[in-house]
Structure 1
Amino acid sequence: MISLKQTLKVLKNHMRVSLRHVPAGFATDSGATPAYACDKYGLPPICKESQKHNEIRSICSNFYKSLQPGEHKVICPIGINISYLKTNNAPNPMAFFLQTGFNPETHCGNVIKNLNRIPKKAIKNALKTTQSFRFSSSIDESKTLNLWRRTLETLFAGRVAASMRILTHQILTPVQGAMSDLEEIKHKHKIDKYNGDEKPLILLEANIDEINSFAKQIHVLLSEDIEPSPQRIRKVTVHNVIKNICGRLESVATKKDLMFNSNYNNGIKVVEAVPDQIVIVFKCLLDNAAKYSFAGKHEWKRKINIYYDDTRVNDVRTLKVSIQSYGCPITSDEIRERKIFELGYRGEFSGDRGRQGTGSGLYIADRIINAHYGKIEVESRIEESSTDDLQQALNTFTVFWPRFFPEEIA
């Protein structure tokens, strides 16, 4: 089961993506000031200044502890108009906040009177600045709170794993049924996938496949134990898996003038694995390669290279698959400390050029690879021709996947 701290990381990244221009935040029942995820405006000046003083910080803490479950509009001790939604019936209640305005008259007046001259002056200056602070609300407030209602009620504390596992099963069953129906339709009517008249059906198939993949990733993310059972192990032809994924990513590659380039050799590319899980691994890696690669040019497409090789790791026959792309660098600390494989972590340069993500893909891939007794290694080498404002690195993700699942387990 993922921890509350890990869940908060993922949620914060989701908020940065979906609520970019809204000063939105969340807090636990600890009474701490909400952690706001808005990149553009952040906390109002008066909040930043007030948090420097123990008396005001204590008043704010007691205020957030006293908030009642449900959906409410309040004015905090600082004077900020807040709309919030707080969960109930959970071991660790959570609240989701939107800042919508400022009432200077409600600020902690009695506390300010007792402050020394210098901090009192700083707070008064912050009050003036806050009066012109832009409380952005580009997303409808009520819709935003409703959007997060179910998320807050199911995503936190001990309820997260059970609720989301049930949800993924509920998603997977009809989606897999729909995929089966599509195959039957294509078979009966002998539909040509490349016939322009059947484009809506092709798009439908792609969308259903994407939902199916997403549901499986959630299931892996929230499972306490993903150790493959012998009954689920199958022989998987890896280069066919990768070829299919590259085909799905063709539209993304075309938009950025990228090209997937597989370098085949005579080695055997069949391994034993849970088919769904090995697909998730290479989908995450190839998705990232396409997302974080710098764009090519129409007359010169930038390559994402895929290499296969047979090797031995600790005297175990292993398939080595390397995915190489040119994009934003990964720091040596992130590689050495394996930060990029932590749930919710996004690389130091990953937000470059407005790239969005939740920091869960590599975490999921690493878990699956380890469960199959493999390993993943990362290398990032900055190109000498890179300039300060356009650092380009050759990034290589190498997966070592044992050819055979251990006999004593399988």
Structure 2
Amino acid sequence: MLCLRVFLAERALVPIQRSWNKQQQFVADASHELRTPLSILLVNLERLFRHPDHTIEQESQKISVMIRETRRMNKLVSDLLTLARTDSNQLQILSEPVRLDEILNRVADQFRELAKLKNITIETSIASPILMDGDEQRLHQLFVILLDNALKYTHEGSIKISCHPSSSFVYITVEDTGVGIAKEDLPHIFDRFYRGDKTRSRTGEGTGLGLSIAEWIIKAHHGKVRVESQIGVGTVFHITLPLKRKR
């Protein structure tokens, strides 16, 4: 009887231990990600302090680096707070009528100027109007993450956005002609801090948390996401969202 109780107690502790290990890993990863921009900031500040005789151009370069890393760190902290709120169920998804077509067009317009600087075109095929139940702010965040991700890893070609409804669902695709994702990396792209192979991670951009947040937003809307990719060809995100949220 005692052995059985010990066995049951140990089995009950397994999920708790897994959760604890997961939290420890998350904290370790977050600390590592924060350490890099902080180190870069510190090095550049020390150089400015030690070499006050530097030219304005030299100082401007260092300040530019510090601004970039500060923005990166700010984005990382923001993403960490978002994920912390999702883990503790403190982040609620609204369910109200929204125009999905307007959200998508707005996000596409937001990225067009930046895409032009890289000689990349953003093409859209979006039905109108598309009315659905959802959280406008979070849906906007979802598509910002996906387009930012596509633009980050696309060096030439195009990004295509399509959105078409059926009677009960709306189907969205975000397709790019970027570097692609290796087959072995695909199952992990929504994992926190996962950046895949060196082709995608060497840019040093991003926080490694965006797609985790994107997946959470999709699931919170009772939707599904599927990803297809081929190295050197590009990546397609297929998203399905219900037009009416379950009450």
Per the normalisation by structure 2, the TM-score is 0.69
Residue in structure 2 matching 1:279, options 131, 140, 144: 140
Q: Structure 2 counterpart of 1:7, which letter? A: V
State the 1:369 CA deviation: 1.0
* Residues 1:259 and 2:121 aligned together: yes
Give structure 2 stretches of 5+ with no counterpart: 1-18, 50-73
Partner of 1:361: 210
Contact kept in structure 2, 1:14 and 1:358, CA below 8 Å: no
State the 1:139 CA deviation: 5.4
State the 1:400 CA deviation: 0.9
Percent of counterpart pairs with the same letter?
Answer: 21
Alignment: residue pair count = 199
* Residues 1:310 and 2:158 aligned together: no
* Residues 1:237 and 2:106 aligned together: no
Partner of 1:225: 89
Contact kept in structure 2, 1:227 and 1:372, CA below 8 Å: no
Higher gyration radius (CA): 1
Alignment CA distance shift 1:213-1:400 (3 Å): farther
Residue in structure 1 matching 2:200, options 350, 373, 376: 350
Cα-to-partner distance string for 1:67-108 (whole Å, 9 max, x where unaligned): xxxxxxxxxxxxxxxxxxxxxxxxxxxxxxxxxxxxxxxxxx
Give structure 1 stretches of 5+ with no counterpart: 23-136, 144-211, 296-301, 383-391
Q: 1:192-211, aligned counterparts within 5 Å?
A: none
Alignment CA distance shift 1:18-1:325 (3 Å): farther
Structure 1: how far apart are the matches of 2:117 and 2:92?
37
Structure 2: how far apart are the matches of 1:318 and 1:289?
24
Q: Structure 2 counterpart of 1:282, which letter? A: F
* Residues 1:8 and 2:28 aligned together: yes
Structure 2: how far apart are the matches of 1:293 and 1:264?
22
State the 1:17 CA deviation: 4.9
State the 1:364 CA deviation: 0.5
Q: Structure 1 counterpart of 2:133, which letter? A: E
Q: Structure 1 counterpart of 2:210, which letter? A: G
Cα-to-partner distance string for 1:284-337 (whole Å, 9 max, x where unaligned): 101111111113xxxxxx22100112347xxxx2111100001122122222x3
Contact kept in structure 1, 2:126 and 2:163, CA below 8 Å: yes
* Residues 1:378 and 2:233 aligned together: no
Contact kept in structure 2, 1:13 and 1:357, CA below 8 Å: no
Alignment CA distance shift 1:340-1:17 (3 Å): farther
Q: 1:8-407, aligned counterparts within 5 Å?
A: 8-17=28-37, 19=39, 140=46, 217-223=79-85, 224-225=88-89, 228=92, 232-265=94-127, 269-295=130-156, 302-311=157-166, 317-335=168-186, 337=187, 339-348=188-197, 349-352=199-202, 354-382=203-231, 392-406=232-246
Structure 2: how far apart are the matches of 1:227 and 1:284?
18
Structure 2: how far apart are the matches of 1:322 and 1:275?
18
Moved over 6 A (4+): 212-216
Contact kept in structure 1, 2:101 and 2:127, CA below 8 Å: no
Partner SS for 2:196: coil
Partner SS for 1:332: coil
Per the normalisation by structure 1, the TM-score is 0.43
Contact kept in structure 1, 2:104 and 2:143, CA below 8 Å: yes
Alignment CA distance shift 1:219-1:260 (3 Å): same
